[in-house]
Amino acid sequence: MPELPEVEAARRAVEENCVGKKITKCIVADDSKVIDAVSRSDFEASVIGKLIVAAHRKGKNMWLQLDSPPFPSFQFGMAGAIYIKGVAVTKYKRSAVKDEDEWPSKYSKFFIELDDGLELSFTDKRRFAKVRLLKDPTSVPPISELGPDALFEPMTLEKFTESLHKRKTEIKALLLDQSYISGIGNWVADEVLYQARIHPRQAASSLSDASCSTLYKSIEEVIEKAVEVGADSNQYPNSWIFHSREKKPDKAFVDGNKIDFITAGGRTTAYVPELQKLSGSIDVKETGKPKRQASKKVSGDDDTEKPTDGEEGDLGNVKSKKGAKAGVKGRKPAIKKKSEESDEDNDSDAQVEKKNPGNVTNRKQVGEEKVSKKRVQSNQTGRSSKRKAK
């Protein structure tokens, strides 16, 4: 998903090309999953005629400051991207849409035309992004809950080291925690840990002062380099693990060293066992718990970030469907699946029972009456048979 470098590239493109210009036209998609808590007509009416004063970013979120509130805010999710017609804006590869034949793209969620004819579109083909209209984006979630921005608000080395020594969390999980540092996502976390030669599942509290210092410098250098080249991954150094992190395990190498893949912080993680040693008793193969914890924790970004990435999110649904079919003694899995997927149905049933509590009593009474009748009948039958015997 787009991380700090990609979102910063979008912010800078807007700053360089759109600031100081007036919005003359706005088209907002009729998509309540992405357009959050505001109607398209109200959204459009609120921004037309407004001047773009600035473009801001914190973590993986960006917003446009207009000459008066409310302001459009963009949470990029897994595939959000900014397009400016006629302007090259680096996009995360999974965010790319083909706009040669159609403009704005069919995936456009927010489109504006400026008074000089320039056109901008925020697209999201995966529909995990959020576009909001807010009076003060910094005062409400998700932005209000973010930790210091990794580029604009870096901690001092001393504070960074002190904070790590207080955390028993695995280091990658901590770096992905947007309330700790905002802007670092999966690929950036893998890169900085590789450059610092730290195992992704090493407890943060166990890192030496020297390792903390190395990691601090790695975060600074990786983010600054990625931002410097406009998040164009073709310009990232050849020594970065980035270029091989999505290759097949047996074909993934960096500087001649084999890359392995584990789960850390709930995410598929690339690391080099030869260089990133794990100290302590943690078994690297035990990846289930962190994954479950992360899926519960994720709320709003992403990130947070929700399925680990778009493909895994979709595959998860496919797997659950296959699992239901694979259960040869199929009824029980099907019932279980229904209960997991349809909370509303369960709630409705519960409400019906609450509304008609007498039904249960009546059923019991009817049952008891039937039993008593059977007993009476059996007693009568027994007596008559005894008389006949006599």
| Average pLDDT of every residue of the chain | 79
Instruction: Give the whole-angstrom CA distance, residue 148 versus residue 144.
Output: 11
Q: Which two tokens stand for residue 310?
A: 């778009």
Assess whether pLDDT exceeds 90 at residue 261.
yes
Per DSSP, helices labelled H in 67-208 are 157-165, 171-176, 186-195
Per DSSP, helices labelled H in 83-127 are none
Q: 367 to each of 9, 172, 352, 374, how far by Cα in Å?
A: 72, 60, 21, 11
Q: Give the DSSP H or E segment for 114.
A: strand 108-114
Q: What is the mean pLDDT of residues 241-261?
A: 94
Length of the chain: 390
Instruction: Give the whole-angstrom CA distance, residue 339 versus residue 53.
Output: 50
Label residue 129 left, alpha or beta by phi (over 0 means left) and psi (-120 to 50 means alpha). Answer: beta
Catalytic residue among 3, 8, 170, 305: 3
Q: Which two tokens stand for residue 264?
A: 């850390």
Q: What is the pTM of this model?
A: 0.72
pLDDT, tens digit, for every residue of 13-36? 999 999 999 999 999 999 999 999
pLDDT, tens digit, for every residue of 320-333? 334 444 444 444 44
Q: What pLDDT, on a 0 to 100 scale, did the predictor assign at position 246? A: 87
Catalytic residue among 60, 91, 172, 306: 60
Active site residue 2: yes
Instruction: Give the whole-angstrom CA distance, residue 165 versus residue 212.
Output: 9
Neighbours of 315 (CB within 10 A): 11
What is the pLDDT confidence band of residue 253, given thresholds at 50, 70 and 90?
very high
Active site residue 228: no
pLDDT, tens digit, for every residue of 77-117? 999 999 999 888 866 665 666 656 689 999 999 999 999 99
Assess whether pLDDT exceeds 60 at residue 298.
no
Instruction: Give the whole-angstrom CA distance, residue 23 versus residue 227.
Output: 28
Active site residue 296: no
Instruction: Give the whole-angstrom CA distance, residue 233 versus residue 237.
Output: 9
Q: What pLDDT, on a 0 to 100 scale, did the predictor assign at position 13? A: 96
What is the pLDDT confidence band of residue 73, given thresholds at 50, 70 and 90?
very high
What's the CA dihedral at 140, 145, 147, 152 to 10 degrees? -20
Catalytic residue among 2, 104, 200, 290: 2
What is the pLDDT confidence band of residue 307, given thresholds at 50, 70 and 90?
very low
Asked if 191 contacts 200 with a C-beta cutoff of 8 angstroms, the reply is: no
**DSSP state string for 332-381:** HHHHHHHHHH-HHHHHHHHHHHHH-THHHHHHHHHHHHHHHHHHHHHHHH
Helix (H, G, I), strand (E, B) or coil at 327: coil
Percent of the chain with pLDDT over 90: 65
pLDDT, tens digit, for every residue of 113-170? 999 999 999 999 999 999 999 999 999 999 999 999 999 999 999 999 999 999 999 9
